[in-house]
């Protein structure tokens, strides 16, 4: 089960106002929150006890006690520093450190949010696909192209589309047995969501990757994977969850290779991965994102 803090970071943007205040208080000082009773947390967050109870249930915990125990476990064994805002007076070393720590945190939290059984189930569906199609706009389009190239090494018919007209056209050509991917940091890119939804209505299996678990993209996805990138704490618009997106796609690729019977050993997995890395250019992405 994902931890309390990764869940809060993933959901905070979509929470009601009262629950968002609770989330902000906890994220600002998790250690102090572990020492608070439900009434103290409500008072410090400026909300009702009922709002705290709803907040805890939204995160998937049965009661406040269970939530506080999990929060205490995480703060007792932290997995890394929170992504601090990059400030004008930061030195070059400080900026570099914050970028690295932020991406480490993003990957660690994404690992908490992504369930291995869901990855395996999606990989089995991908392994049986007659055609793979990836949709994405902006920098997500670059990720889509990288993913199409990646899966082509498994001898799939694998394509990527970033042009709105092409996305609509390809969505209308979807059929049962195809797997369509929608990649959108916000999960609200209208053309990506609509394209994936149309493909699903045509019978294709749909896979969504977004930073927001309550986004429209999730509703269009048979399998949905949530990244965790705390962009609200970073004053740099170019930073996105692309590294976490790539890790999810890499995991799906390797699991699909195994389920498809294309890889007989871990050593062969490594050979395929090295072959991919030697192609170069796969990790490039434009700064703009949707």
- How far is the C-alpha of 130 from the C-alpha of 189, rounded, in Å? 26
Q: How far is CA 215 from the centre of its chain?
A: 11
Domain boundary among 55, 78, 101: 78
For position 251, what pLDDT does the model report?
Answer: 95
- The CATH number of residue 215's host domain is 3.40.50.10490
Cα dist from 171 to 1, 128, 290, whole Å: 34, 19, 19
* DSSP per-residue string spanning 72-139: HHHHHS--S---PPP-TT--HHHHHHHHHHHHHHHHHHHHHHS-HHHHHHHHHHHHT-SEEEEEE-BH
Coil/strand/helix, residue 206: strand
Give the single-character DSSP code of 202: T
Per-residue pLDDT of the chain (290 residues; tens, 9 = 90+): 567 888 888 888 888 999 999 999 998 888 888 888 899 899 988 999 999 999 999 998 999 988 888 888 777 655 444 445 667 787 888 888 877 877 887 888 888 889 899 999 999 999 999 899 999 998 899 999 999 999 998 889 999 999 999 999 999 999 999 999 999 998 999 999 999 999 999 999 999 999 888 899 999 999 999 998 765 444 444 456 789 999 999 999 999 998 877 655 456 667 767 777 776 544 444 444 55
- The CATH number of residue 56's host domain is 1.10.10.10
> Against a cut of 0.85, is the pTM above it?
no
In a domain, 271, yes or no: yes
> Are residues 231 and 167 part of one domain?
yes
Q: How far is CA 138 from the centre of its chain?
A: 17
In a domain, 284, yes or no: no
> Are residues 136 and 49 part of one domain?
no
* Structural domain of 3: 1-78
In a domain, 243, yes or no: yes
In a domain, 89, yes or no: no
For position 236, what pLDDT does the model report?
Answer: 43
In a domain, 63, yes or no: yes
Q: Of 85, 123, 79, 87, whose CA–CA distance to 105 is shortest?
A: 79
Angle between helices 38-45 and 49-58 (to 10 degrees): 100
> Are residues 155 and 68 part of one domain?
no
For position 232, what pLDDT does the model report?
Answer: 47
**Structural domain total, the chain:** 2
For position 76, what pLDDT does the model report?
Answer: 62
> Are residues 272 and 143 part of one domain?
yes
């Amino acid at each position: 089960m994902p931890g309390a803090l990764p869940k809060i970071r993933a959901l905070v943007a979509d929470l009601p106002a009262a629950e968002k205040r609770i989330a902000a208080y906890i994220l600002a000082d998790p250690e102090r929150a572990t020492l608070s009773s439900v009434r103290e947390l409500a008072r410090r967050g400026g909300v009702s006890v009922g709002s705290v109870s709803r907040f805890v249930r939204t995160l998937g915990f049965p009661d406040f006690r269970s939530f506080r125990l999990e929060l205490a476990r995480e703060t007792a064994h932290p997995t890394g520093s929170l992504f601090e805002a990059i400030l004008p007076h930061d030195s070059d070393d400080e900026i570099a450190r914050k970028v690295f720590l932020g991406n480490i945190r993003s990957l660690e939290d994404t690992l908490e949010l992504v369930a291995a059984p869901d990855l395996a189930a999606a990989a089995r569906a991908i392994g049986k696909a007659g055609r793979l199609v990836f949709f994405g706009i902006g920098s997500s389009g670059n990720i889509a192209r990288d993913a199409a190239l990646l899966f082509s090494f498994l001898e799939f018919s694998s394509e990527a589309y970033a042009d709105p007209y092409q996305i609509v056209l390809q969505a209308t050509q979807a059929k049962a047995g195809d797997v369509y991917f929608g990649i959108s940091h916000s999960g609200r890119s209208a053309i990506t969501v609509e394209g994936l939804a149309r493909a699903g209505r045509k019978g294709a299996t749909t896979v969504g990757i977004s930073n927001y678990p309550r986004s429209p993209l999730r509703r269009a996805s048979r399998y949905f994977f949530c990244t965790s990138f705390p962009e609200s704490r970073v004053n740099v618009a170019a930073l996105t969850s692309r590294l976490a997106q790539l890790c999810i796609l890499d995991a799906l690729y390797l699991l699909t290779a195994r389920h498809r019977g294309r890889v007989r050993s871990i050593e062969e997995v490594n050979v395929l991965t090295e072959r991919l890395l030697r192609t170069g250019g796969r990790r490039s992405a434009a700064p703009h994102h949707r």
